[in-house]
Amino acid sequence: MPLYRPTELVQFLIENGVNPKKALSQNFLIDGNILRKITETADVSPGEIIFEIGPGPGALTEQLLNKEGVVLAVEKDRELSGLLPRLSEMCKGKLYVFRDDILLFPIEKEVQKLLQPGQKAKVVANLPYSLTTPILEKLIPMNKTFSKIVIMVQEEVARRFTAKPGSSEYGSFTVFLNYFADCKYEFMVKKNSFYPPPKIDSAIVTITLKEPPQVSSEEEFFRFTRRSFQQRRKMLKSSLIELYPKEKICRSLEKVSLNPLARPEELGVEEFIRLFEELNSPD
């Protein structure tokens, strides 16, 4: 049964006594063209390991299996996770289903069990929107396990993830993503492509993981960038005053050839790194 068709999906849910749960951000795709575009964007190859988060009733899972991918799916919902094994009949051992909370699931441990030496997996997922940020904070540093992350997020969030320095959407989480990856806005997904329809449109984003640059302390660096954006309308020499003496901020901006009146949204990752290291260097 093709679950991307609204009538078939509703019938399937009714027959199995399942109601979409708002608390779990359950909005299921009912657009076959979008499902195909997602798998094309992910460029799934036969035998490739695909990690799927929140597969729901399995419409995207089925598309990934049709591309001959090996899918490891994590679904928190007891009812839906119990329905996914039905897809195993079409794929002969290429589907692994775990009922678990994605924030607690040992992602790298389980995915690495399926990988061949030198191989990396991909993430393909329609993320629960309320958990987008903590899920990505967990996934993004895993460049030894994953090569690419193709995700559905809220459209405004997609714009923020892929924003460029100088734009109003650019923020500390954009810097975090750009530190670990290259991000690309792929295409919009209208709210009527889901059942039940959410209140806002969505978008597909591709995040290509890379080896991050070197900093003296990643934890302190991200504390520094978050602090920089807490008062984004202020100049850095003012917004960083709780972390460093104003004189040192002004002197460091000059030493790394940045405008002494610079605001946080004007700096790219490399500029933030240069400023951070200068600020933390001995006087």
Q: 31-82 pLDDT, tens per residue?
A: 999 999 999 999 999 999 999 999 999 999 999 999 999 999 999 999 899 9
Name residue 81's beta-bridge partners.
none
Torsion of CA 57, 108, 50, 145, to 10 degrees: 160
Domains, in order of start, for the chain: 6-209 (3.40.50.150), 218-279 (1.10.8.100)
Q: What is the mean pLDDT of residues 149-160?
A: 97
- Quick one: pLDDT at residue 25? 76
- Quick one: pLDDT at residue 233? 84
> Does pLDDT of 4 surpass 70?
no
> Does pLDDT of 20 surpass 90?
no
Question: What whole-number distance in Å separates Cα of residue 126 and Cα of residue 121?
Answer: 17
Residues near 43 by beta carbon (within 8 Å), at least 6 away in sequence = none
Q: 93-149 pLDDT, tens per residue?
A: 699 999 999 999 999 999 999 999 999 999 999 998 889 999 999 999 999 999 999
Question: Where does the pLDDT of residue 15 fall: very low under 50, low under 70, confident under 90, or very high at 90 and above?
Answer: confident
Question: What whole-number distance in Å separates Cα of residue 264 and Cα of residue 272?
Answer: 9
- Quick one: pLDDT at residue 27? 86
DSSP state of 261: T
- Quick one: pLDDT at residue 187? 98
- Quick one: pLDDT at residue 203? 98
Coil vs helix vs strand at 121 = strand
Q: 248-281 pLDDT, tens per residue?
A: 999 999 999 999 999 999 999 999 999 999 999 9
- Quick one: pLDDT at residue 89? 74
> Does pLDDT of 16 surpass 90?
no
- Quick one: pLDDT at residue 237? 92
- CB burial of residue 248 (10 Å; 0-12, 13-18, 19+): middle
Q: 220-242 pLDDT, tens per residue?
A: 999 999 999 998 889 999 999 99
> Does pLDDT of 1 surpass 60?
no
Residues near 29 by beta carbon (within 8 Å), at least 6 away in sequence = 4, 35, 59, 60, 126, 189, 193, 194
